[in-house]
Amino acid sequence: MTQIGNSSMLAMLETGLLSMIIPVGLIVTWKIKNKKTGKVSIVPFIGGILAYMFFGFVLKTLFDALVLSFDTPVSRIIASNAFIAAVYFAVITAIFETGGKYFVLKKVFKDSLNKYKSVKDAVSFGIGFGMLEIVLTLGVAYVRNYMYAVLINNGTLEQMIADYEKAGDASSVKDLQSIANELTTITPIDCMLYSVDRVALLLIQVALSVAVFYSIYKKKKKLFTLTFVIHAFSGMIFYFSTSASSIGANCVIEICALIATVVVVYLAYVLYQILLKEESAKELAGVDSSDENSGTDSSNGTNSQKSKKTSKSISKIANGRYTDD
């Protein structure tokens, strides 16, 4: 069995670990950046993690199992055509993930809890959502690849295949041989490109969370629809980037993915600034209103004191006991 190079193994391990470090670093940086305002709660971040777990992982996995696990005309068409497969996975992912974002941001945070109405909470939510995705799709996968590479290099995997062959377990033999064949083709460049791919996807998840948040609070149904379309389109690009047959094709697709990421993040940044200015204006209006009320109360208190003094003087005059100091 072909041995895995040390550089490839190191790249696998680094890719797996970085996929866990980068999202954590992002949320810590976000918290520190907004520390002075005190408006960034950890709750939306956790909500984003749970939202991806339920909608983007559990429900989507169950749906894929129902559609693809059985030998049906639909499953055969999807398996036989790469473009149709890309469309299927992109659209289904967009349905579950965009729908999940909308449900949690509106039905849970806005309507049920009646809290977390700042656009900064949407950013925290998006980081949590994208964090779990990058950990599950990149971190776990590449740590697993590293472990299998170790088994290949020390001969353990080859022995496992031989044992399964003796036991007549053809399915396990086929699975292990497929893993071994896949790992022998992975290069450090592949790991680097896939890491860039996943980080870009993390940023897109944050950007789309802001867009969904904007569509909820501004009641822009067309924007929500556009968010779904953008999610599906970017999903197709990322799908092709993971299934490209050559490094050259992969690089071209990655460039397209990065361009799409920059455009989507910029549009989300514009929406973010609009909402942030409106929030600041509302806060300022609240402070001004509070100051006016405070001034009114102070004036009323002074007038009340004057009125009491006047009444007291009149009373003294009436009793003939008033003396001019």
* Predicted pLDDT of residue 112: 65
Cα separation, 162 vs 216, in Å, equals 57
What pLDDT sits at residue 317? 42
Better pLDDT: 299 or 325: 299
Residue 245 has a pLDDT of: 62
Residues 6 or more apart whose Cβ sits within 8 Å of residue 50 = 104
pLDDT of residue 38: 63
Query: Averaged over 32-58, what is the pLDDT?
Result: 88
pLDDT at 254 over 60: yes
pLDDT band of residue 318 (cuts 50, 70, 90) is very low
> What is this structure's pTM?
0.82
What is the per-residue pLDDT for 295? Answer: 53
Instruction: Output the pLDDT for position 272.
Output: 94
> Residues 303-323: what's their mean pLDDT?
48
Contact 80, 32 (CB under 8 A): no
> Quick one: what percent of the chain has pLDDT higher than 70?
83
Domain ranges of the chain: 6-288
Residue with tokens 């994208």: 130
pLDDT, tens only, 205-235: 999 999 999 999 899 999 999 999 999 998 8
The per-residue pLDDT for 50 is 95
Q: Does position 294 have pLDDT exceeding 80, yes or no? A: no
Tens-place pLDDT, residues 14-34: 888 888 888 889 988 888 888
Short-list 280, 131, 125, CA closest to 213? 125
Tell me: the pLDDT tens digits for 89-109?
Answer: 999 999 999 999 999 999 888
Between these two residues, 191 and 99, which has the higher pLDDT value? 99
Residue 141 above 70 pLDDT?
A: yes
- For residue 303, what pLDDT is reported? 52
Which of 211, 168, 150, 196 has its CA nearest to residue 5?
150
- 66 vs 20 pLDDT, higher one: 66
pLDDT at 325: 43
- pLDDT of 194 reads 83
CA 182 from centre of chain: 29
Residue 107 pLDDT: 85
